[in-house]
Structure 1
Amino acid sequence: MAECDEQVPQVEEEETDDAKVAYKPPAEKSIQEIMSTDQEDESLKKYKQQLLGETSDTCFWPDKGNVILRKMTVLVEEHADKVIEINLEEQSQLKDMKFVVKEGCKYRLMITFNVQREIVSGLRFSNKIGRSIVNSKEEYMVGSYGPRKEVYEYKSPLEEFPKGMIGRGEYKVKSTFTDDDKNLILQWEWTIDIKKDWKD
Protein backbone atom coordinates (compact mmCIF):
# COMPACT_ATOMS: atom_id res chain seq x y z
CA MET A 1 0.00 0.00 0.00
CA ALA A 2 2.99 2.31 -0.44
CA GLU A 3 1.33 4.00 -3.36
CA CYS A 4 -1.33 5.23 -0.96
CA ASP A 5 1.07 7.16 1.30
CA GLU A 6 0.57 10.92 1.17
CA GLN A 7 2.13 13.86 3.00
CA VAL A 8 -0.46 16.04 4.70
CA PRO A 9 0.15 19.72 5.52
CA GLN A 10 -0.21 20.85 9.11
CA VAL A 11 -2.18 23.83 10.34
CA GLU A 12 -1.09 26.09 13.17
CA GLU A 13 -3.94 26.77 15.57
CA GLU A 14 -4.38 29.29 18.30
CA GLU A 15 -3.96 27.93 21.80
CA THR A 16 -7.23 26.50 23.08
CA ASP A 17 -8.31 25.33 26.52
CA ASP A 18 -7.61 21.69 25.73
CA ALA A 19 -4.12 22.62 24.48
CA LYS A 20 -3.35 23.91 27.98
CA VAL A 21 -4.16 20.47 29.41
CA ALA A 22 -1.13 19.19 27.44
CA TYR A 23 -3.11 16.40 25.81
CA LYS A 24 -0.86 13.99 23.95
CA PRO A 25 -2.48 11.90 21.21
CA PRO A 26 -1.71 8.16 21.29
CA ALA A 27 1.02 6.75 19.04
CA GLU A 28 -0.16 5.76 15.58
CA LYS A 29 -0.77 2.06 14.90
CA SER A 30 -1.49 0.35 11.62
CA ILE A 31 -4.75 -1.56 11.04
CA GLN A 32 -2.77 -4.82 11.13
CA GLU A 33 -1.23 -3.95 14.51
CA ILE A 34 -4.61 -3.09 15.99
CA MET A 35 -6.24 -6.26 14.69
CA SER A 36 -3.40 -8.50 15.90
CA THR A 37 -3.48 -7.32 19.55
CA ASP A 38 -5.80 -8.75 22.23
CA GLN A 39 -6.71 -11.76 20.07
CA GLU A 40 -7.80 -13.71 23.16
CA ASP A 41 -10.50 -11.13 24.03
CA GLU A 42 -13.52 -12.18 21.91
CA SER A 43 -15.68 -9.15 22.72
CA LEU A 44 -12.85 -6.74 21.82
CA LYS A 45 -12.13 -8.73 18.67
CA LYS A 46 -15.76 -8.43 17.56
CA TYR A 47 -15.79 -4.72 18.35
CA LYS A 48 -12.68 -4.13 16.23
CA GLN A 49 -14.19 -6.12 13.35
CA GLN A 50 -17.34 -4.03 13.62
CA LEU A 51 -15.29 -0.82 13.59
CA LEU A 52 -12.78 -1.80 10.92
CA GLY A 53 -14.62 -4.42 8.89
CA GLU A 54 -13.33 -7.78 7.70
CA THR A 55 -11.23 -6.59 4.79
CA SER A 56 -7.50 -5.83 5.04
CA ASP A 57 -7.62 -3.65 1.91
CA THR A 58 -8.58 -0.23 3.25
CA CYS A 59 -7.22 1.96 0.47
CA PHE A 60 -10.30 2.62 -1.69
CA TRP A 61 -9.16 5.81 -3.50
CA PRO A 62 -5.34 5.62 -3.96
CA ASP A 63 -5.07 9.15 -5.33
CA LYS A 64 -6.72 10.74 -2.27
CA GLY A 65 -5.77 11.28 1.40
CA ASN A 66 -6.90 9.35 4.48
CA VAL A 67 -9.89 11.66 5.01
CA ILE A 68 -11.92 12.71 1.97
CA LEU A 69 -14.42 15.51 2.54
CA ARG A 70 -17.38 15.16 0.19
CA LYS A 71 -19.75 18.02 1.08
CA MET A 72 -20.94 20.43 3.75
CA THR A 73 -24.67 20.96 4.17
CA VAL A 74 -26.48 23.66 6.15
CA LEU A 75 -29.67 22.04 7.46
CA VAL A 76 -32.22 24.68 8.46
CA GLU A 77 -34.79 23.57 11.06
CA GLU A 78 -38.41 23.79 9.84
CA HIS A 79 -37.21 24.85 6.36
CA ALA A 80 -36.28 21.60 4.61
CA ASP A 81 -36.57 23.35 1.24
CA LYS A 82 -33.82 25.83 2.17
CA VAL A 83 -30.93 23.36 2.26
CA ILE A 84 -27.53 24.90 1.43
CA GLU A 85 -24.97 22.46 0.04
CA ILE A 86 -21.27 22.99 -0.71
CA ASN A 87 -19.48 20.37 -2.81
CA LEU A 88 -16.10 20.10 -1.08
CA GLU A 89 -14.62 18.03 -3.91
CA GLU A 90 -14.79 20.94 -6.35
CA GLN A 91 -11.63 22.74 -5.20
CA SER A 92 -11.96 25.52 -7.78
CA GLN A 93 -15.37 26.52 -6.39
CA LEU A 94 -14.42 26.67 -2.72
CA LYS A 95 -13.97 30.43 -2.59
CA ASP A 96 -16.36 33.38 -2.60
CA MET A 97 -19.49 31.25 -2.29
CA LYS A 98 -22.35 33.33 -0.92
CA PHE A 99 -25.67 32.16 0.58
CA VAL A 100 -28.66 34.16 1.76
CA VAL A 101 -30.41 33.00 4.95
CA LYS A 102 -33.25 34.30 7.09
CA GLU A 103 -32.35 35.83 10.46
CA GLY A 104 -33.01 33.84 13.63
CA CYS A 105 -33.38 30.46 11.89
CA LYS A 106 -32.03 27.41 13.72
CA TYR A 107 -29.62 25.22 11.79
CA ARG A 108 -27.06 22.44 11.91
CA LEU A 109 -23.94 21.95 9.81
CA MET A 110 -23.49 18.46 8.35
CA ILE A 111 -20.16 17.22 7.00
CA THR A 112 -20.18 14.16 4.73
CA PHE A 113 -16.82 12.37 4.42
CA ASN A 114 -14.96 9.12 3.85
CA VAL A 115 -12.08 7.56 5.76
CA GLN A 116 -9.58 5.14 4.22
CA ARG A 117 -6.22 3.45 4.92
CA GLU A 118 -6.05 3.89 8.71
CA ILE A 119 -8.14 4.92 11.72
CA VAL A 120 -8.15 8.72 12.01
CA SER A 121 -8.32 10.25 15.49
CA GLY A 122 -9.67 13.50 16.84
CA LEU A 123 -11.20 14.99 13.71
CA ARG A 124 -12.15 18.63 14.30
CA PHE A 125 -14.23 21.07 12.32
CA SER A 126 -13.94 24.80 13.03
CA ASN A 127 -15.37 28.02 11.61
CA LYS A 128 -13.75 31.43 11.96
CA ILE A 129 -16.53 33.95 11.46
CA GLY A 130 -15.73 37.57 10.70
CA ARG A 131 -17.84 40.65 10.21
CA SER A 132 -16.33 44.13 10.23
CA ILE A 133 -14.08 44.19 13.34
CA VAL A 134 -16.04 41.45 15.16
CA ASN A 135 -14.65 37.91 14.96
CA SER A 136 -15.75 34.66 16.58
CA LYS A 137 -14.89 30.97 16.33
CA GLU A 138 -16.97 27.80 16.47
CA GLU A 139 -15.21 24.48 17.01
CA TYR A 140 -16.71 21.00 16.86
CA MET A 141 -15.13 17.70 17.89
CA VAL A 142 -16.12 15.32 15.09
CA GLY A 143 -14.44 12.24 16.59
CA SER A 144 -12.41 9.21 15.49
CA TYR A 145 -13.33 6.91 12.60
CA GLY A 146 -12.17 3.67 10.99
CA PRO A 147 -11.74 3.15 7.25
CA ARG A 148 -14.76 2.07 5.22
CA LYS A 149 -16.16 2.66 1.75
CA GLU A 150 -19.49 4.04 3.00
CA VAL A 151 -19.66 7.74 3.87
CA TYR A 152 -19.81 9.11 7.40
CA GLU A 153 -22.05 12.03 8.34
CA TYR A 154 -21.35 14.41 11.22
CA LYS A 155 -24.03 16.88 12.38
CA SER A 156 -23.15 19.85 14.59
CA PRO A 157 -25.26 20.86 17.60
CA LEU A 158 -28.24 23.12 16.88
CA GLU A 159 -27.19 26.75 16.31
CA GLU A 160 -29.11 29.94 15.53
CA PHE A 161 -28.39 32.64 12.96
CA PRO A 162 -28.13 36.18 14.43
CA LYS A 163 -31.23 38.38 14.22
CA GLY A 164 -32.31 42.00 14.46
CA MET A 165 -30.85 45.03 12.73
CA ILE A 166 -27.44 44.52 14.33
CA GLY A 167 -27.37 40.82 13.45
CA ARG A 168 -28.20 41.22 9.77
CA GLY A 169 -25.50 41.53 7.13
CA GLU A 170 -22.66 39.57 5.57
CA TYR A 171 -20.48 37.18 7.57
CA LYS A 172 -17.26 35.77 6.10
CA VAL A 173 -16.61 32.19 7.22
CA LYS A 174 -13.32 30.30 6.98
CA SER A 175 -13.90 26.59 7.62
CA THR A 176 -11.08 24.24 8.61
CA PHE A 177 -11.06 20.46 9.01
CA THR A 178 -8.10 18.90 10.87
CA ASP A 179 -7.13 15.74 12.75
CA ASP A 180 -5.54 15.03 16.16
CA ASP A 181 -2.06 15.81 14.84
CA LYS A 182 -3.24 19.17 13.42
CA ASN A 183 -2.88 17.88 9.86
CA LEU A 184 -4.86 20.20 7.60
CA ILE A 185 -7.35 18.09 5.67
CA LEU A 186 -9.20 20.94 3.98
CA GLN A 187 -9.85 24.66 4.35
CA TRP A 188 -12.49 26.66 2.49
CA GLU A 189 -14.18 30.07 2.60
CA TRP A 190 -17.80 31.08 2.17
CA THR A 191 -20.15 33.95 2.98
CA ILE A 192 -23.51 33.97 4.77
CA ASP A 193 -25.73 36.98 4.09
CA ILE A 194 -28.33 37.23 6.88
CA LYS A 195 -31.47 39.06 5.78
CA LYS A 196 -34.90 39.80 7.24
CA ASP A 197 -36.42 37.09 5.01
CA TRP A 198 -35.35 34.42 2.53
CA LYS A 199 -34.26 35.91 -0.77
CA ASP A 200 -32.42 34.56 -3.81
Structure 2
Amino acid sequence: MSAPHDEADDFATNTTPGYKPSAVKSLDEYKQLDANDESLARWKASLGITGDAAPGDTSKPKITVLSLELVSPTLPTGKPIKVDIQNTAQLRALKETPIQVKEGADVFITFTVNHSIVTGARYIQVVKRGGIKVEKVDAMLGSYGVQAEPRRVSVVQDEFPSGMLARGTYSVKSRVTDFDGGIFAEWEWLFKIGKEW
Protein backbone atom coordinates (compact mmCIF):
# COMPACT_ATOMS: atom_id res chain seq x y z
CA MET A 1 0.00 0.00 0.00
CA SER A 2 1.44 3.34 -1.02
CA ALA A 3 1.64 6.34 1.28
CA PRO A 4 -0.93 9.11 0.69
CA HIS A 5 0.26 11.67 -1.86
CA ASP A 6 1.15 15.07 -0.44
CA GLU A 7 0.40 17.93 -2.90
CA ALA A 8 3.20 19.96 -1.27
CA ASP A 9 5.64 17.41 -2.76
CA ASP A 10 4.43 18.36 -6.26
CA PHE A 11 5.50 21.95 -5.69
CA ALA A 12 8.78 21.32 -3.89
CA THR A 13 11.33 23.37 -5.82
CA ASN A 14 14.44 21.86 -7.34
CA THR A 15 17.38 22.72 -5.14
CA THR A 16 21.14 22.63 -5.44
CA PRO A 17 22.72 20.63 -2.62
CA GLY A 18 24.50 22.93 -0.19
CA TYR A 19 22.94 26.13 -1.57
CA LYS A 20 21.21 28.32 1.00
CA PRO A 21 19.46 31.53 -0.08
CA SER A 22 20.63 34.65 1.74
CA ALA A 23 18.41 36.37 4.28
CA VAL A 24 15.69 38.66 2.95
CA LYS A 25 16.89 42.25 2.57
CA SER A 26 14.98 45.47 2.12
CA LEU A 27 15.51 47.74 -0.88
CA ASP A 28 17.46 50.18 1.32
CA GLU A 29 19.73 47.37 2.59
CA TYR A 30 20.50 46.38 -1.01
CA LYS A 31 21.27 50.02 -1.90
CA GLN A 32 23.86 50.20 0.92
CA LEU A 33 25.33 46.75 0.27
CA ASP A 34 29.01 47.04 -0.71
CA ALA A 35 28.57 50.52 -2.18
CA ASN A 36 32.21 50.57 -3.42
CA ASP A 37 32.06 47.22 -5.27
CA GLU A 38 31.89 48.00 -9.01
CA SER A 39 30.58 44.57 -10.13
CA LEU A 40 27.94 44.59 -7.40
CA ALA A 41 26.94 48.11 -8.46
CA ARG A 42 26.36 46.82 -12.02
CA TRP A 43 24.31 43.89 -10.69
CA LYS A 44 22.21 46.24 -8.54
CA ALA A 45 21.69 48.55 -11.52
CA SER A 46 20.44 45.55 -13.57
CA LEU A 47 17.81 45.02 -10.89
CA GLY A 48 16.87 48.69 -10.91
CA ILE A 49 18.47 49.38 -7.53
CA THR A 50 19.96 52.84 -7.78
CA GLY A 51 20.24 55.72 -5.37
CA ASP A 52 17.05 57.25 -6.72
CA ALA A 53 15.05 54.02 -7.14
CA ALA A 54 11.45 54.26 -5.98
CA PRO A 55 10.38 51.75 -3.32
CA GLY A 56 7.35 50.68 -5.40
CA ASP A 57 3.77 49.99 -4.35
CA THR A 58 3.87 48.06 -1.06
CA SER A 59 0.05 47.78 -0.99
CA LYS A 60 0.39 45.04 -3.64
CA PRO A 61 2.19 41.69 -3.44
CA LYS A 62 5.84 41.68 -4.56
CA ILE A 63 4.85 39.97 -7.84
CA THR A 64 1.63 40.31 -9.83
CA VAL A 65 1.22 37.62 -12.48
CA LEU A 66 -0.64 39.12 -15.43
CA SER A 67 -0.93 36.43 -18.08
CA LEU A 68 -0.09 32.99 -19.38
CA GLU A 69 0.47 32.67 -23.14
CA LEU A 70 0.68 29.65 -25.40
CA VAL A 71 2.67 30.44 -28.52
CA SER A 72 3.16 28.43 -31.70
CA PRO A 73 3.88 29.35 -35.32
CA THR A 74 1.15 26.88 -36.32
CA LEU A 75 -1.70 28.69 -34.54
CA PRO A 76 -4.48 29.32 -37.10
CA THR A 77 -4.88 32.97 -36.07
CA GLY A 78 -1.15 33.58 -35.88
CA LYS A 79 -1.74 35.13 -32.44
CA PRO A 80 -0.88 33.48 -29.10
CA ILE A 81 -3.57 32.05 -26.84
CA LYS A 82 -3.51 34.45 -23.89
CA VAL A 83 -5.03 33.84 -20.45
CA ASP A 84 -5.56 36.82 -18.13
CA ILE A 85 -4.52 35.49 -14.71
CA GLN A 86 -6.19 38.49 -13.00
CA ASN A 87 -9.59 37.61 -14.54
CA THR A 88 -11.28 35.24 -12.06
CA ALA A 89 -14.12 34.40 -14.48
CA GLN A 90 -11.60 33.36 -17.14
CA LEU A 91 -9.66 31.26 -14.63
CA ARG A 92 -12.87 29.59 -13.46
CA ALA A 93 -13.71 28.71 -17.09
CA LEU A 94 -10.23 27.22 -17.61
CA LYS A 95 -10.94 24.64 -14.88
CA GLU A 96 -13.93 23.39 -16.88
CA THR A 97 -13.09 23.96 -20.55
CA PRO A 98 -9.67 22.85 -21.76
CA ILE A 99 -7.47 24.97 -24.00
CA GLN A 100 -7.02 23.08 -27.27
CA VAL A 101 -3.32 22.85 -28.11
CA LYS A 102 -1.36 21.20 -30.84
CA GLU A 103 1.65 19.06 -30.06
CA GLY A 104 4.63 21.31 -29.40
CA ALA A 105 3.83 24.81 -28.12
CA ASP A 106 5.75 27.29 -25.94
CA VAL A 107 4.42 28.87 -22.73
CA PHE A 108 5.23 32.38 -21.49
CA ILE A 109 4.44 34.15 -18.20
CA THR A 110 4.04 37.94 -17.99
CA PHE A 111 4.38 39.59 -14.56
CA THR A 112 5.32 42.81 -12.79
CA VAL A 113 7.45 43.36 -9.70
CA ASN A 114 5.62 45.89 -7.53
CA HIS A 115 8.10 46.50 -4.72
CA SER A 116 11.24 45.19 -3.02
CA ILE A 117 13.62 42.78 -4.69
CA VAL A 118 12.39 39.40 -5.86
CA THR A 119 15.09 36.75 -5.66
CA GLY A 120 14.76 33.44 -7.44
CA ALA A 121 11.28 33.89 -8.84
CA ARG A 122 10.12 30.66 -10.43
CA TYR A 123 7.19 29.12 -12.27
CA ILE A 124 6.17 25.59 -11.28
CA GLN A 125 3.65 23.61 -13.30
CA VAL A 126 2.38 20.14 -12.35
CA VAL A 127 0.60 18.27 -15.15
CA LYS A 128 -1.67 15.30 -14.44
CA ARG A 129 -3.67 12.96 -16.62
CA GLY A 130 -6.37 10.92 -14.98
CA GLY A 131 -5.12 12.09 -11.57
CA ILE A 132 -1.59 10.75 -12.16
CA LYS A 133 1.32 13.18 -12.37
CA VAL A 134 2.91 12.95 -15.81
CA GLU A 135 5.15 16.03 -15.80
CA LYS A 136 6.52 18.79 -13.64
CA VAL A 137 8.06 22.01 -14.96
CA ASP A 138 10.20 24.04 -12.56
CA ALA A 139 11.38 27.09 -14.51
CA MET A 140 13.49 29.88 -13.09
CA LEU A 141 12.09 33.33 -13.89
CA GLY A 142 15.03 35.18 -12.30
CA SER A 143 15.70 37.95 -9.78
CA TYR A 144 14.24 41.40 -10.34
CA GLY A 145 13.79 44.83 -8.87
CA VAL A 146 10.78 47.13 -9.19
CA GLN A 147 9.86 48.01 -12.75
CA ALA A 148 6.58 49.40 -14.07
CA GLU A 149 7.03 47.65 -17.41
CA PRO A 150 5.80 44.01 -17.32
CA ARG A 151 8.31 41.25 -17.89
CA ARG A 152 7.57 38.34 -20.26
CA VAL A 153 9.56 35.14 -19.64
CA SER A 154 9.54 31.78 -21.45
CA VAL A 155 8.78 28.95 -19.01
CA VAL A 156 8.02 25.94 -21.24
CA GLN A 157 9.59 25.37 -24.64
CA ASP A 158 8.01 22.84 -27.00
CA GLU A 159 7.33 20.41 -24.14
CA PHE A 160 3.72 19.48 -24.78
CA PRO A 161 3.65 15.70 -25.29
CA SER A 162 3.30 14.45 -28.84
CA GLY A 163 2.07 11.31 -30.57
CA MET A 164 -1.29 9.57 -30.62
CA LEU A 165 -0.98 8.21 -27.08
CA ALA A 166 -0.32 11.71 -25.72
CA ARG A 167 -3.53 13.13 -27.16
CA GLY A 168 -6.22 13.81 -24.58
CA THR A 169 -7.07 16.13 -21.70
CA TYR A 170 -4.60 17.09 -18.97
CA SER A 171 -5.12 19.02 -15.72
CA VAL A 172 -2.49 21.56 -14.69
CA LYS A 173 -1.80 23.41 -11.47
CA SER A 174 0.52 26.38 -11.87
CA ARG A 175 2.28 28.43 -9.21
CA VAL A 176 4.63 31.42 -9.15
CA THR A 177 6.88 31.58 -6.10
CA ASP A 178 10.34 32.79 -5.02
CA PHE A 179 13.32 31.74 -2.88
CA ASP A 180 11.71 33.36 0.16
CA GLY A 181 8.77 30.96 -0.05
CA GLY A 182 6.18 33.52 -1.15
CA ILE A 183 3.37 32.24 -3.37
CA PHE A 184 2.30 35.07 -5.68
CA ALA A 185 -0.12 33.26 -7.97
CA GLU A 186 -1.68 29.84 -8.17
CA TRP A 187 -4.26 28.63 -10.65
CA GLU A 188 -5.62 25.46 -12.23
CA TRP A 189 -6.33 24.91 -15.90
CA LEU A 190 -6.95 22.20 -18.46
CA PHE A 191 -5.44 21.64 -21.87
CA LYS A 192 -6.35 19.13 -24.54
CA ILE A 193 -3.70 17.90 -26.96
CA GLY A 194 -4.87 17.22 -30.48
CA LYS A 195 -3.34 16.75 -33.90
CA GLU A 196 -4.59 20.21 -34.86
CA TRP A 197 -5.45 23.46 -33.06
| TM-score interval, smaller chain | 0.7 to 0.9
> Which of residues 37, 41, 44 is equivalent to 1:45?
41
Q: Deviations over 1:148-193 (max 9, x none)?
A: 1111111125223223331111111111111112211111111111
Q: Is the counterpart of residue 95 in structure 1 residue 124 in structure 2? A: no
Output the amino acid matched with 1:190: W
> Which of residues 67, 70, 92 is equivalent to 1:74?
70
- Gaps of at least 5 residues in structure 1 are 1-10
Return the alpha-carbon distance in structure 2 between the equivalents of residues 46 and 164 of structure 1: 47
- Which deviates more from structure 2 when the two are superposed, residues 128-137 or residues 113-122? 128-137
* Contact in 2 for aligned 1:127/1:176 (Cα 8 Å): yes
Task: Show the counterpart of 1:31.
Answer: 27
Q: Deviations over 1:42-75 (max 9, x none)?
A: 4543542342254342224x54211011111111
Return the alpha-carbon distance in structure 2 between the equivalents of residues 44 and 143 of structure 1: 17
- Gaps of at least 5 residues in structure 2 are 1-6
Task: Show the counterpart of 1:3.
Answer: none
Taking only the aligned residue pairs, the percentage that are identical comes to 32
- The 3 A distance-change label for structure 1 pair 146 and 156 is same
What is the TM-score of this pair, normalised by structure 2? 0.81
Output the amino acid matched with 1:114: T
Give 1:27 shift.
0.9
* Contact in 2 for aligned 1:130/1:172 (Cα 8 Å): yes
Task: Show the counterpart of 1:113.
Answer: 111
- The CA RMSD over aligned residues, in Å, is 2.4
* Contact in 2 for aligned 1:12/1:182 (Cα 8 Å): no
Aligned length: 184
Return the alpha-carbon distance in structure 2 between the equivalents of residues 185 and 173 of structure 1: 17
